[in-house]
Structures are given as structure tokens and as C-alpha cells.
Structure 1
Amino acid sequence: MKNCPNCNHQNPDEAKFCETCGTALAGNIPQSFLANQTNTTTSEGTKIGLAILSFIIPIVGIVLGISQMNDKDPSKKAAGKTYLYLGIGGLVLACLYASVVGSSGY
């Protein structure tokens, strides 16, 4: 007899699921299925930290871009323009992502 880990009901040896509650009985779940199951939960603090960073990093890029564009060296001006464009693009993407994720209830 197989003992159900969920409700402690005694099931026949050939049973794959508990007759009472439907829980899968030990030895019937393929190992490949169990091996692919990972804990994908992320703490709330990590989510908030990543959200803040996704806004701060583009703003830093914008500030660096503006400061570099005011330099007399043409290569620094070009780098500043790149920082500015990447910062603006990153900020737009962060806002779009925040609006999509925020509206979906995740």
C-alpha cells in the first residue's frame, strides 16, 4: 500500500494518484520533471532594487552624456551624444516595461 503524503490515505501499490485527494504518489513523477522545477520567486526587495536601478542607470547616462557633449574634444562630444541617446532609450524602455508590468498585476 502507498501512503499519500498529502492526506495520509492508504492507496493500492499500483495507484499513481491518491484516491482521496488526487495528489501524485511518490515514485510516479518522472525525475526529468522534478529536475526541471526550479524556485523562480524573487524577493520584493530585489524587485524594488532592480526597478530603482532601471531608472537610475539611464539618468546617469543622460547626465554623463550632457556633460561630455559640453567638452571641446570632438571624440568626447561623440561619446556624450552616445551616452545621451542610450540613456534616453534606456529610460524610455524602463518606463514602457514598468507600465506593462504594472498594469498586468505581476
Structure 2
Amino acid sequence: MPNESVLRVAHEFVDSDGRSPFREWLLNIKDVRAQAKITKAIVQMESGNFGDCKAITNAHGIFEKRLHFGPGYRIYYCFDGAKLIILLAGSDKSTQRATIELAKGT
């Protein structure tokens, strides 16, 4: 992971059809408090506070941020240089494996 003291900007990955898997996942969460907590976690990541995160094995630079509320939400992301965070996808614990495969394909 890059230097923690660098301010970063988070952007969503958008595929060739103009779809953002991350945005679609976030907007499908019915609990607006959970949406707010996930958004807050992204702001914290931009400030360098990545919290509970780890590199995904055999995923070539994809990381998983684990959020400890609700059903165990996950944010999958990568870096483009030191200052840009690319939000690839999101999931909860129940769809984790399939979402990691989706993130690897982006």
C-alpha cells in the first residue's frame, strides 16, 4: 500500500458500457445508514486511514477493505499511482468470492 500520509482521491471504475459495479452495489443497499458508513469509510481512505484492509491473494494489486458492521461489507479497490484510489466493487461476506472475481476482471 502506498505511503499513508499522502492525500488521495477515490474514483469509481466504469466499464466500457458506462456501468460502475461499485456504484450499483452501493445504491442497492437498502439501509441508508450503511450507505453513509460506507461513504464515510471511503473518505477516510482518501485521508490515508485504510483501517482493516489486506491485499487479495493472486489478484495483482487488488485490496479488500473490511467494514465491521451489518453483514460484513467489503470494498474492493486498487491504486493508480500514489494519489488515486480506484473503487472496483463492493459486497458483503455472503457474496465475497464472486465479487473478488468481478474485481479481478475489471
TM-score (norm. length: structure 2): 0.22
Structure holding more strand per residue:
2
Structure holding more helix per residue:
1
TM-score (norm. length: structure 1): 0.22
- Specify the structure having the higher radius of gyration (Cα): 1
